[in-house]
Structures are given as structure tokens and as C-alpha cells.
Chains A and B, each alone.
Chain A
Amino acid sequence: MNQNYQQRYPSQPQYQQQNQYQQSNQYQTNNFSQAKSTQMSDRDRINDMLATEKHLTDAYNVFVREASHRELYQDTLQILNNTHQSARDLFNEMYSQGWYNVQAETAQEVAKVQQKFSNYQTQLPNTNSFQTYQNQIY
């Protein structure tokens, strides 16, 4: 498990430190230039658009759930999917600009949760089929 994690995110801590530095830099310059202006910045625009997409996914979720016939259901479900994709694209764009900060959880904390819920597996009613599934993925 730990090895896997290391392989997937080999230089995560270093990268993050670097990123944080860039981020605070960018944030400051951004903030500084914004301090004098009431104009919307690129960051504000992207943020507003992301808020719109977030709202749309919520709204479409209700629409999809209550659509009557099959074709309407399928089309609105596709639109819901597209909207999630747009929100994701915006998020990625913001992340690449250093406007979003993500912090990796330590392996110990992950291990605690894994231990806890591995033990709870005994409570699952379909034990046999789950074990088969588990064997397939590990």
C-alpha cells in the first residue's frame, strides 16, 4: 500500500512546497494589483464561471431525477455530465494557475482509516463475493 502510494506520488511533498511558494507569490502580486482596482480579474471571472457550473450541476441533478420519458432522461443526464466536465476543466485550470491548494494526507492517517474499515468488512452480508472482488484488485 505504502509503496504504491510512493510510486504514484513520488515527489509530492517537494512539488507542493514549490507550488506553495509560487502560489503565495502569485497571490500577492494578484492581490496587490487588485488592491487599487474594483475591476474583476481573470481569477474572479474563472471563479464566477466555476460557481455557475456548480450551481448548474445541482439544478440538473434535480431535473434528471424528475424527467419523465427515457429520451429526456438520457439527454439531461448527458448535459449533467457535460456540466460536471466543465466544472472540472475550470478547477484544473485554476489549479494549474496555483489558485487552489491541495495537501496530501500522511500515510499513517490513511493507514488508520484503512485498518478501521477493513475490520468493518466482517459486517458486510455478502462476504464471499466481496473477498473474490478483493482478490481481484490486490
Chain B
Amino acid sequence: MYQTYQETTQGRVNEPPKTITKKDLLYLQDALSWELLACKKANHFAEECQDPKLKKCLVEIGKRHQQNYQVLLNHVQPQFAQQQYNQFSQI
């Protein structure tokens, strides 16, 4: 899949550069708060659940939300954004 994209030193051909756009940042903020809430909720419910099977299921789901949170957070990096922003504006 990666081979189908052409990359040059200036940036990518036929697709957006690896930059966080204003819209991306707004979505990332939203998604991070969704994941935070979902993770808290799953954990809270897991603690309250009587049935051990349901408890286990909720714990797993809580973990999954936490992973998602970390993935999203990796996309919000100021130093990287600055670098990309400079490159982007030079083109």
C-alpha cells in the first residue's frame, strides 16, 4: 500500500502533507475527550458489575479505549507540528 504513494523531499505527491490541520486538531481534541470518558465509564461499570464475565468484558473495553487515547495523543505533538508547519509554509 505504501509503495503506491510517491514521496519527495518537498512532500507527498497527490496527498496532503503530514501536518496537523486546524480541523484535525479540533477532531483530535473531541476524540481524546470521548476516549477519556469512555475509558472512565468502562472502568467504573466494571467495578460495579456483579457478573464476573461482564466485568471482564468491560475491563477489556476500558483497556481498548486507553490504547486509543494513547494513539490519538501521539498525533498531538507540538515540536513535530512546528517542524511540519515550517516545511508546509515553505512550499
Write the residues of chain A forming the contact surface with B, with a CB cutoff of 8 angstroms.
Answer: 40, 42, 45-46, 48-49, 52-53, 56, 59-60, 63, 66-72, 75-76, 78-79, 82-83, 85-86, 89-90, 93, 96-97
Contacts and interface: CB of A to CB of B under 8 A. Distances in A.
Contacts of A76: 31
Interface in B1-55: 5, 12, 15-21, 23-24, 27, 30-31, 34, 38, 41-42, 45, 48-51, 53-54
Nearest to A63: B27
A93 B16 CA distance: 41
A76 B20 CA distance: 13
A45 B18 contact: no
Nearest to A82: B64
Contacts of B57: 46, 89-90, 93
Contacts of B68: 79, 82-83
Interface size class of B (residues with CB under 8 A): 35 or more
8 contacts: A42-B51, A48-B41, A49-B45, A66-B27, A71-B75, A82-B67, A89-B57, A96-B53
A70 B60 contact: no
Nearest to A87: B61
Given A72-B75, A79-B68, A66 B23 contact: yes
Contacts of A60: 31
Contact of B17 (A45, A67, A69, A86): A69
Nearest to B45: A45
B6 to A, nearest CB: 12
A78 B34 contact: no
A57 B19 CA distance: 24
Contact of A68 (B16, B31, B64, B71): B16
B71 A78 contact: yes
A79 B27 contact: no
Contacts of B60: 89
